[in-house]
Amino acid sequence: MDYKKSILLISIVSLVSLFACNPEPELSPVPSIRYLNTEFIRGTDFVNSDGIPVTAADTVAFTFSFEDGDGDLGMLATETNPPYHAFNLFSRINGTPLAYISGDIDSQQFIQINDSDTLPPFNCDTYYRYAFGEVEAGTDGVDTLYIRKNPRSENFYINFFIKNAQGSFEPFYFSSAAGSCPTLLNQRFGPLFEDDTPKALVGDIRFKYVTEFFPEFLYDREEVMKVQIYILDRAGNKSNIAESPEFTFKQIEK
């Protein structure tokens, strides 16, 4: 299977399992989480009704428990205004940051990669490639804008690690093509409180990532992996970082 194509087809079921109750009132308003398990489910290839071979989707699912004293957990996908916007752009006139929400912008108003010798070289964390509406002849129609990401734009963060030949772990990034920016699997889960009234909550959350082209080398070579996860509440409080035990995808296959 083609690993370079795999991450492009990942879809997210952001919240598929929640069991909430009323815990003791002395729980901290800062969320706390505990890793529970990781599961890998291989899809079964098949031939469709038109006689065309179809590569079925593989699934990786992560489950963790949480508790939060004031229950202000979860964001809607439509919440894109500050403080939940994706990133800030910076004015070419005075460097003032401006929250990027969505829609068309006049990219010429904002600092771009070649505007100053003091800007860092291109990297995926501090630049955003923006395709403007009217593509000029002889250009690719894309501006590379200097940005600062907003950590509160998502509330579920996950990092993968892979064990190297020396026995230590290093970050592992999914990527759609060689040399491209990694595809981050950070996501949002929806509000866990009802009637717009947050209250103390405990429960389990299960995130499920589905891809038609799972990177087979991780499975075939039985690479040793682990993940670290954390969540944010609506006030921006960061939970502890919960770490999984070491695993291979064959070991967690269901």
What pLDDT, on a 0 to 100 scale, did the predictor assign at position 140?
59
Q: Is residue 236 part of a domain?
A: yes
Q: Quickly state the pLDDT bin for 160 (edges 50, 70, 90).
A: very high
Domain match, 163 and 238 both: yes
Mean pLDDT taken over the chain: 83
Lowest mean pLDDT: which of 55-59, 152-156, 228-232? 55-59
pLDDT in tens, 73-132: 999 999 999 999 999 999 999 999 999 987 778 888 999 999 999 999 999 899 998 876
Q: Is residue 124 part of a domain?
A: yes
Give the pLDDT mean for 234-243: 97
Domain match, 63 and 161 both: yes
Reading the block at residue 8, the tokens are 């492009």
pLDDT in tens, 33-64: 999 999 998 877 777 778 787 767 788 889 99
What is the Cα–Cα distance from 244 to 30, expressed in whole angstroms?
A: 21
Of the ranges 23-32, 40-49, 130-139, 224-233, which is most confident?
A: 224-233
Are 62 and 158 a contacting pair, CB within 8 Å? yes
Domain match, 95 and 142 both: yes
pLDDT: which is higher, 20 or 63: 63
Domain end position, chosen among 102, 120, 149? 149
Are 208 and 219 a contacting pair, CB within 8 Å? no
CA distances from 137 to 119, 125, 151, 164, 172 (A): 27, 29, 37, 47, 39
What is the Cα–Cα distance from 197 to 83, expressed in whole angstroms?
A: 19
What pLDDT, on a 0 to 100 scale, did the predictor assign at position 212?
66
Domain match, 49 and 117 both: no
Judged by DSSP in three states, 109 sits in helix
pLDDT over 50 (residue 173) = yes
**Which residues form the domain of 214?**
3-76+155-243
DSSP state at residue 61 = E
Are 71 and 233 a contacting pair, CB within 8 Å? no
Give the pLDDT mean for 176-203: 80
Domain end position, chosen among 117, 149, 181? 149
Lowest mean pLDDT: which of 16-25, 135-144, 153-162? 16-25
In residues, how long is the chain? 254
Q: Quickly state the pLDDT bin for 239 (edges 50, 70, 90).
A: very high
Domain match, 14 and 60 both: yes
Are 238 and 232 a contacting pair, CB within 8 Å? yes
Q: pLDDT over 90 for what percent of the chain? A: 50
pLDDT in tens, 193-221: 777 776 888 888 888 888 766 778 898 99
Domain count, the chain: 2
Domain end position, chosen among 149, 176, 200? 149
Is the alpha carbon torsion for 245, 182, 56, 14 positive or negative?
positive
Q: Is residue 109 part of a domain?
A: yes
Residue with tokens 């964001």: 75
Q: Is residue 210 part of a domain?
A: yes
Reading the block at residue 57, the tokens are 């989707």
| Count of C-beta atoms within a 10 Å radius of residue 109 | 13
What pLDDT, on a 0 to 100 scale, did the predictor assign at position 177?
66
* All residues at 6 or more sequence positions from 220 whose CB lies less than 8 Å from its CB, including other chains: none
Of the ranges 12-26, 52-66, 116-130, 230-244, which is most confident?
A: 230-244
Domain match, 208 and 108 both: no
CA 55 to chain centre: 24
pTM above 0.85, yes or no: no
| Count of C-beta atoms within a 10 Å radius of residue 34 | 12
Are 71 and 18 a contacting pair, CB within 8 Å? no
pLDDT over 60 (residue 6) = no
Domain match, 69 and 161 both: yes
What is the Cα–Cα distance from 47 to 28, expressed in whole angstroms?
A: 52
Using a 10 angstrom Cβ sphere, with 0-12 exposed, 13-18 middle and 19 or more buried, the burial of residue 47 is exposed
Domain match, 129 and 201 both: no
